[in-house]
Amino acid sequence: MTETILANATLVLPHETLRGQVRMVGGIITDIADGANIPTGAVDCGGDLVLPGLIELHTDNLERHIEPRPKVNWPHAAAIIAHDAELASVGITTVFDALRVGSVVSHAKANYGEYARTLADEILTLRASGALRVSHFLHLRAEVCSETLTAELDKFGADDRIGIVSLMDHTPGARQFRDLSKLKEYYVGKHGYSDGEFDDLVANRIALSQEFSARHEAAAVAAARRYGAVLASHDDTEAGHVDQSARHGARFAEFPTTHEAAAACKAHEIKIMMGAPNLIRGGSHSGNVAASALADAGLLDIISSDYVPASLLSAGLMLGDMWGDTARGIATITAAPAAVAGLSDRGHLIPGARADVIRVTRHERSGAVRGVWVQGERVG
């Protein structure tokens, strides 16, 4: 069995940092010891941080690899392998790949088709073949404001490694898109919509919401139970949204858009996840509540890289600096996402845990990943 010892390291343990060493044998962490001594054959980390592999619950990064430019479709196998390699390079050792389910097919211009089942098959096939470096699960983003959600959900089952189902509602005038000026800015700026085309899009989406959203929400909740997946809410804006999430049994809330919604999540014991780009940039690009404000108020539990994989590590380190507690900051990108996703075997540097471990050299507010081990095997 492969043995690796990372010595003379600053170990980020569950509740403290400690100069010491971690020993990995057969894919498991077998020992944690303090002291700066360097056993024969060990890797001398020179004081670098050694911490659990990062755990990403929601990333759109695969979409960027599949469509590197608008209307440019990249071969999927190559895109998935490149996405996986990028995650490994920034210390992410477990990922829940976010795939949208629920499509709009009837609108002449603002339509988007089904892709999740095919892409999921490709991810799972590559995983089974040993082509991927990190651990992949699926996260189905269930768009309730759509036409085909129920049919798409029915194509998945309990054997598809679906760890998360999130309830998405992108109805204009609600949640993330409650400010129609922001939505218009997006469609006019990115897609070149005219005023008339934008108005037509809004009317179409509102009509879809009125016809389908209630039944689709119920179908997504039932599907999560059928898959054995964790349920998450998305873009909660009002306390009423959170009340509904709690009734559905949501375990965590992705990107609540207001302090009110985050406080309601806390009251319902729903874990709060915010985006690393929001934290690092100092605010939301959509005009929603700043992640730093929630962190200051004790209303932030988990960080997601969202659309910038490299931001996850930086955000965990940044929170550790803000809170004056490196272990607490790192927990938002390791232990906390592992716990809410039901992964009890990872997310901690403790004997008996899965040997997903990374080595990081600190550079001011950020960190450079210098080594990545998944189940004790070096992958980056």
Percent of the chain with pLDDT over 70: 94
73 pLDDT band (50/70/90 cuts)?
very high
Mean pLDDT (the chain, rounded)? 93
Residue 110 has pLDDT above 70, yes or no: no
3-state secondary structure of 112: strand
Please choose, from the candidates 330, 259, 244, the residue with its C-alpha nearest in 3D space to the C-alpha of residue 289. Answer: 259
Residue 190 has pLDDT above 70, yes or no: no
Give the per-residue pLDDT at 59: 96
> Residue 326 carries which side chain, given as an amino acid letter?
T
For helices 195-227 and 180-191, angle between their N-to-C axes, nearest 10 degrees: 100
| Domains of the chain and any CATH numbers | 1-53+346-380 (2.30.40.10), 65-344 (3.20.20)
Residue 72 has pLDDT above 80, yes or no: yes
Is residue 85 within 8 A of residue 65, CB to CB? The reply is no
Most confidently modeled range among 112-121, 143-152, 165-174, 295-304:
295-304
- Tell me how far the alpha carbon of residue 53 is from its chain's centroid: 14
Q: What angle do CA 172, 278, 175 make, to 5 degrees?
A: 20
38 pLDDT band (50/70/90 cuts)?
very high
Residue 274 has pLDDT above 70, yes or no: yes
Tokens 């804006």 appear where? 237
Residue 331 has pLDDT above 80, yes or no: yes
16 pLDDT band (50/70/90 cuts)?
very high
User: What's the average model confidence in pLDDT over 263-286?
Assistant: 94
**How far, in Å, CA of 232 to CA of 238, rounded?**
16
User: Measured between alpha carbons, how far is residue 349 from residues 32, 33, 38, 136 in Å?
Assistant: 8, 11, 19, 20
**How far, in Å, CA of 351 to CA of 26, rounded?**
12
Residue 303 has pLDDT above 70, yes or no: yes
Percent of the chain with pLDDT over 90: 80
Task: Give the list of residues 6+ apart from residue 342 with CB closer than 8 angstroms, or none.
Answer: 163, 230
Residue 278 has pLDDT above 80, yes or no: yes
105 pLDDT band (50/70/90 cuts)?
confident
Residue 53 has pLDDT above 60, yes or no: yes
Task: Give the list of residues 6+ apart from residue 14 with CB closer than 8 angstroms, or none.
Answer: 327, 331, 335, 348, 349, 350
User: What's the average model confidence in pLDDT over 296-322?
Assistant: 97
- Tell me how far the alpha carbon of residue 208 is from its chain's centroid: 28
Residues 225-252: tens digit of each pLDDT: 999 999 999 999 999 999 999 999 999 9
User: What's the average model confidence in pLDDT over 130-155?
Assistant: 96
Give the per-residue pLDDT at 108: 55
**Predicted model pTM:** 0.93
Task: Give the list of residues 6+ apart from residue 359 with CB closer than 8 angstroms, or none.
Answer: 6, 9, 43, 45, 48, 49, 50, 369, 370, 371, 372
